[in-house]
Chains A and B, each alone.
Chain A
């Protein structure tokens, strides 16, 4: 087990989420940046659905009470093990008593701490992903104990993983037309792909964009929405739904992000700019 010494800004346990309960209104939740969370699991030889700790902007400080192997993937929040800087994407063995902390944010927003075999928090409705109202807590707090299996094996040497810098710097967000894309006029559609959007309020539920699109679309009868769906709100602002989003909504669904762009967006923050690039399906 490990102990949360300092909770960081928004630290939670996540796995692939809950895909089979959307019909009773349960959000998917799960890794925001699935690419880096899965990479972390892969580097430790874990199941891809193994639970990891997702930290946002500011890392948590944790003390390991049992030996295991860990790896950190995603945003570079300057991780240190017992005050010694450690590298991203490189598994390290930790001993009882070791302390992992984070420092300055160098790039990215979300980082993932994985332990060998994954964190063993309670599975609720078939997932360990924290979500307020499903799991007892939405985030970890100081003093929390998070379980994992003890593992004293040395770290297996693995090929170096090249950092995919583009996943952090690239501002292109690839989108498909959403079901209500045709509600928009030609000029509205063109505007979507010609201007740069800046990110406003954002969290695990949604990313709001600042620039407005003239909106004269009717609302729709409440219908399913997905992580990555872009809704056009009555004010003309766009909302990009993320992993903790509700399962249904009534605003026109004008665009849909491709999977990779959801991961990319999860590493962006307030005032970052993005530009939409349209994908077509063959």
Chain B
């Protein structure tokens, strides 16, 4: 493994993707970029993914993104550096985390590496933090020597995506070969640094360069791809086990479909629901919607922020980071009154003829199991139920009805269900439930959710009408127990 760090909170808005791959981040604290809001957002992400937090002070120059040297008085420079670090300290304390290190930004980073005068002032500015925060420095630099003399704890930083001159300074950004973007070149660059403590400079020489951490610039155009590929490359085999399920399939340009084994079983359902819960809990801004079904989740994402491959990589990473099983939301068992009277059970006769079952046996077999809601679809509030007794597996009607009444309870092949509204349908109708399965006046229009259970309870015609009246008046509460 390698130690990766990234400059963040600089307005690229890709931290949500980068953070799960980083060991450390350097957070812009108002000098060259960043404000209280971005600091909060990035610190929260760093906390979530246990990423070391660094303060990333700069010359106070939003306009030039801190990439131009500034001539400030000693007093001015000290004041701005301390203010910037204080900004971040205030934010991290609210999140109950700590700053790990300080890393100067841009022109300031380059200046303190070369100029003794600037380095002395900078170290003076941060001397109050000496015992608490580490300092990122480039190897063989002016600041490195001074910092060590003054007993700062230094961390050697090398740049994963930058070329080096023979004197181990960075190739100026004004030159075309300053930044490395080819993944292979970056991997080879890092491998040399890691294995030999040397860097191959632009003249082809190998020069000693110590590195404890590698920086990838979050504003390099393929920063996400670089970080993901580095993670894949430098993660050892044993850490890198991709489970067989779910599989990842592209669905249009903004859909990613996760699919599990092609079976409607509780094992698969719970995997699906667990992944759904994890995705929802992650609260990723780039995920716009998650649509759950029996053995799949369709993730609708913001294709302007992330591509399919990066999203797959990210999700695999997140699922491996958060591989512990999590608690599913509370599951309820709902008691659904059904009247199986011949008035509603218009196909009961047909079923008694097709099978050897009596009406009483059909009702008994239908009310005996506790069914599980696998998903909701087809119509608003239509529950896909698992658990129908094999003896009640009856083919759909050869000609569908143009109108099946709201509340109709039917059997179609291996499934049973309730029509939440009057609609055309081909299922064998055995009864009717007086409940509303989709009520637009409720904040939660459908009381049940995937994972919940359903128990059908036979009621008489008289009871049916009583319940229907109570439902109509808004005075009926569906009976439920927590499972």
Contacts and interface: CB of A to CB of B under 8 A. Distances in A.
B307 A281 contact: yes
Interface string B283-299: 00000111111111010
A16 to B, nearest CB: 12
B253 A134 contact: no
A172 B7 CA distance: 45
B376 A223 contact: no
A251 to B, nearest CB: 13
A222 B308 contact: no
Contacts of B263: 221
Contacts of B295: 221, 223
A176 B249 CA distance: 12
Contacts of B296: 221, 223-224
Interface residues on B, range: 35 or more
Contact of B382 (A19, A25, A178, A256): A25
B250 A222 contact: no
A24 interface: yes
B445 interface: yes
Interface in B227-286: 249-253, 255, 257, 259, 262-264
A247 B250 contact: no
B207 interface: no
B106 interface: no
Contacts of A178: 251-252
B470 interface: no
A179 interface: yes
B421 interface: yes
B294 A226 contact: no
Which of B249, B377, B381, B382 is the most central at the interface, judged by chain A CB atoms within 10 Å of its CB? B377
A177 interface: yes
A187 interface: no
B377 A256 contact: no
B255 A125 contact: no
Contacts, number: 109
Contacts of A27: 380
A228 interface: yes
A124 B380 CA distance: 13
A179 B288 CA distance: 19
B446 interface: yes
B252 A124 contact: no
A120 interface: no
B380 A224 contact: no
B308 A281 contact: yes
Contacts of B384: 222
Specify the main secondary structure of chain A where it touches its partner.
loop
B381 A23 contact: no
Contact of B293 (A176, A177, A248): A248
Contacts of B379: 25, 133, 246
B375 A222 contact: yes
A227 B255 CA distance: 12
Nearest to A257: B252
B343 interface: no
Given A224-B291, A281-B307, A282-B307, A25 B446 contact: yes
A48 interface: no
B137 to A, nearest CB: 39
Contacts of B449: 23-24
Contact of A25 (B249, B251, B259, B378): B378
B128 interface: no
A226 B259 CA distance: 16
Contact of A258 (B250, B253, B382, B438): B253
B326 interface: no
A253 interface: yes
A26 B298 contact: no
Contacts of A248: 293, 375, 377-378
Interface of B: 249-253, 255, 257, 259, 262-264, 288-296, 298, 307-308, 375-382, 384, 420-421, 438, 440, 445-446, 449-450
Interface of A: 19-27, 124-125, 133-134, 176-179, 220-224, 226, 228, 246-248, 253, 256-258, 279, 281-282
Top 4 A-B pairs ranked by shortest CB distance? Answer: A248-B377, A256-B252, A224-B298, A24-B446
